[in-house]
Amino acid sequence: MKAVVKLAPETDVVPRKILGWIIISLLMFVSALAGATAGLVLVYSTDLPQVEQLERYRPSAVTELYDSQRHVIGTFALQHRVIATYEQYPQVLRDALIAIEDKDFYRHWGVNVWRIAGAAYRDILSGGRVQGASTLTMQLARNLFLSPDRSFHRKIQEALLAIQIERRFTKQQIFTLYANQIYLGHGVYGFEAASQFYFKKPAADLMLQEAALLAGLPKSPSIYSPIAHPDRAIKRRNLVINAMLEDGKITAVQAAQSRIQPLQLMLARDPPSLAPYFVEELRRYLEGKYGSDQVHEGGLRVYTSIDSNLQHAANRAVLDGLAAYERRHGWKGHLENVIDSGMLISSYQHPDWDEEPEEAGYIHGVVTQVSASFASVKLGRFSARITPAQATWTHRKLLQLLKPGDVVYVKILTLTPDGKAAVTLEQDSGVQGALIAIDNSTGEILAMVGGRDSNLSKFNRATQALRQAGSSFKPYVYTAAIDRGARPDDPVLDAPAMFQTASGPYVPHNYDEKFEGTISLRRALAQSRNIPALRLAEQLGIKTVIGYARRFGITSNLPEYLPIALGAADITLFEQTAAYSAFPNDGVRITPRYLTKVTDYDGQVLEENFADVRDVVSANTARTMTSMLQEVVQHGTAIAAAGLKLPLAGKTGTTNNFTDAWFVGFSPSVTCGVWVGYDEKKTLGAKESGARAALPIWMEFMKAAAVGRPPGDFPAAPAPLTASTQTRLDTPDTAPAAEESH
C-alpha cells in the first residue's frame, strides 16, 4: 500500500509571502522614518542655542536710582519688568494661566504630542502653517531663543528646545521663567509688572477676575488689551474663567460672580519726575562707564546723593520764583494755539500729561471753551476752570486773554479723585532758572534743577549752560587779596577810573552810577562796587586772580583781561556753587558727588565713591572771606536774606543789560547756587538783578534746607593782622599753582 502525501493548497503559501513582504516593508518604513526623523533632528538641532544658557539667564531688568533715603527717584529700562519668584505668583494666577495656555503643564515633558497632532491636522485641512498647541515650555523657548515666525522649521526647533528645558529645570522654575519673561502689552513684561501696571497692586493680591484678565493676555496683548479693547478683554477673561471652571479650579458660583465683574482697571501712571535733570546727568555718566545695555537691561542699583525733601523744595522754589518774575512783567500773550496748527483739541496731547500732576505743581493745558465768566482747560485726564479771579494779575478779561485751542500754563492748587483741578493762570514766556545745592561736609549734591520743564527741554542749565557770572566772580578777587595779606578793613578807592587794557582804555562804572570814595574792602564787596574790585585785580594782576579761581575748581575758559574781575567770563552754575563750598569748609574743596554706590544685578559693588578733598586756601583766608560774604547778607546787596534769621553768606551777580541774575551762597552746612535768565541771553528787564530775580529763589530753598538741621554757626574770623606781618598786595604778578577739578 502506497503512502499518499497531501500538499497544501497554493492559496495557503501566497498569504504568508505577502505577510512577510508587508512586515519587511513596514520595518523598512519604520527604519526610514526613524532615520529621517534622526536626520531632521540632527539638521534642526545643529544651530539650536545651548539651553545651558538658561542656567545663567537673567531677564532684562530695570535699573533703579535711589535717593539718600533709599527711595526710588528714577529708572532706566528698555522693558518694564519686575522680577518675581514662583511663590510670589498666587495660586489663582497659576491656575488661570495653565487652564487657558497649557492644561497638561505639570504632566507633559515639554511637548504635548496629541495637541500638536490635532493642531497640525486642522492646519493641513485649512491649508495653513503649523500653529497653536505650544506648551508653556515651548512658548518660553520661543520667547528666549527663537524668532516669532510660524514656520515648520521653527516649530521643530521649539519642540526640541522645550524637551531640553524640561530635562534641566523643574516645573516651578519653568513657570517662573515664563511668568517673568512674557510680554503683556503697553511695554510691560511679566505678570508682576502687569499686575502693578493694570491694577496698581502686586500679583500676590490679584482677585480671580483680575488674574483671569492677565492670563488671557499672552495670546495677543494688543488684540485683548483692556485699555484699547475692553470688550475683547472681557470676553477673553471670561473664557479663562470658564477654562478654570472646567478644570475644577473654581466653583460655579465663583465663576458666575467673576464673569459679571467690570474691568475696574487702576492704571499706574508715571509719578511726577522728582529730579529729571539730575537723573539725566546720571544716565550720561552711567552709559559712558558701563554701556547702554548694562544700564538699561542689567538691573543696576544706583545709590545717589539726592535728598528728596530738598529736591521737592528746589523744584517749588524755582517754579514759584519764575512765576513771580512773570507776574512782575505782566501778561505777554503770544500763546501757541493747537487749532491754528491744524490739530484737534480732542486729540491734542501735551508732554506734561505723560506724568501724574501734583498739587502746587505747574503744568501746560489746552483751552477747550471760553466765556466771560470762565475758561475750561484740559489737563490730560484732569479738567479745570479759570475764572477772572484766578487771572487778576493779567489785568485783562478772559475773552481778551484766551481762546479755544490756546496752550496755557497753570499752577495746580488742588486735585480731586473725580478728575477736577483748581488752578491759577500763569505764564511761560521762556525765562529759565537753575539751582544746585551741595552738602558742605561731604560734597554730595542734594538737589538739582536744570530748567523750568524737562519735558520741553532736556538742556541742563545747572551743569551745561555757560553764562557770565557777573559780580558773583568778585569773591575770587577779594580772596586773592586777603590771602596775600590784605585786611577786610583796608581802604580802597571807589572813584571814577580808567584802566589801560590790551584792547585800549577801559572806563567802567558802578551799578548805581555813583561813587562812595574811600571805603573798606568789606563794604566794597558787600555793596558789590565795581571800581574797587577792578583796582584790586589790577594791583594783584589778573593772572593771579584767575589762578585763585582755578584753585577753587573753575575750569571754564577765563581770558586774561581785566573785566574778568567783574565776571565777564562764562562759567557754569555747577562750577560756581562747588567753588563757593570751600569758604564754609575752612578753605577745603570737596569734589561734588552725584552718587555714592553702584551695585549690579546680584548686589556686587561695581563702584563706591568717597570724598575727594583738596586744600584751596588757608583756613584763615576762608574764614575772613566768609565773614565778608556774611556782610553781603547782613548789610549788602542780599540784605533781604537777613530776614531768615540764619547764619548765611553769599554773593549776588548781575550782568550787563540784566541778561543773567545769580545768587550763590551758603549756610554752615549747605551751599546753594541759583541762576535766572533766558537761553538766548536776552534781557530779563530793568532792575532784574541777582538780588531781585535769583535771591528770592535761594531764600525759599535755604528755608527748607534749614528744617531739621541745627543752624550752627560759621567759625570765627581770625583777628586782624598787624601792619608788621601784613604782606604787600603788589607782589610779583605770578599766579598761585592752579589745581584742576576732576
Say if residues 100 and 112 touch (Cβ distance below 8 Å): no
What are the start-end ranges of the H helices in 111-203? 113-126, 136-145, 152-168, 171-181, 191-199
Active site residue 471: yes
CA distances to 111, 112, 255, 489 from 106, in Å: 11, 11, 23, 88
**Which residues lie below 8 Å from residue 339, measured CB to CB, with a gap of 6+?**
345, 404, 405
Quick one: three-class SS letters along 566-624? HCCCEECHHHHHHHHCCCCCCCEEECCECEEEEECCCCCEEEECCCCEEECCCHHHHHH
**Which residues lie below 8 Å from residue 640, measured CB to CB, with a gap of 6+?**
691, 695, 696, 699
CA distances to 282, 342, 589, 706 from 711, in Å: 31, 57, 21, 7
Cell 500763546, residue?
335
Q: Closest Cα to residue 60, out of 602, 604, 601, 606?
A: 601
Take residue 513 and report the three cell numbers written for it.
Answer: 552810577
What are the start-end ranges of the H helices in 345-473? 398-401
Take residue 292 and report the three cell numbers written for it.
Answer: 547702554
Residues 5, 9, 14, CA angle at the centre, nearest 5°?
135
Q: Closest Cα to residue 363, out of 381, 340, 343, 347?
A: 381
CA distance 612 to 592: 8
Of 60, 101, 326, 426, the active-site residue reads 101
Of 471, 472, 528, 667, the active-site residue reads 471
CA distances to 57, 115, 194, 197, 355 from 268, in Å: 28, 38, 10, 5, 10
Strand 382-386 and strand 420-426: the pairing is parallel
CA distance 185 to 203: 16
Q: Closest Cα to residue 210, out of 241, 179, 244?
A: 241
Residue 10: count other Cβ atoms within 10 Å of its Cβ: 7
Strand partners, 742: none
**Which residues lie below 8 Å from residue 38, measured CB to CB, with a gap of 6+?**
none
Residues catalogued as catalytic? 101, 471
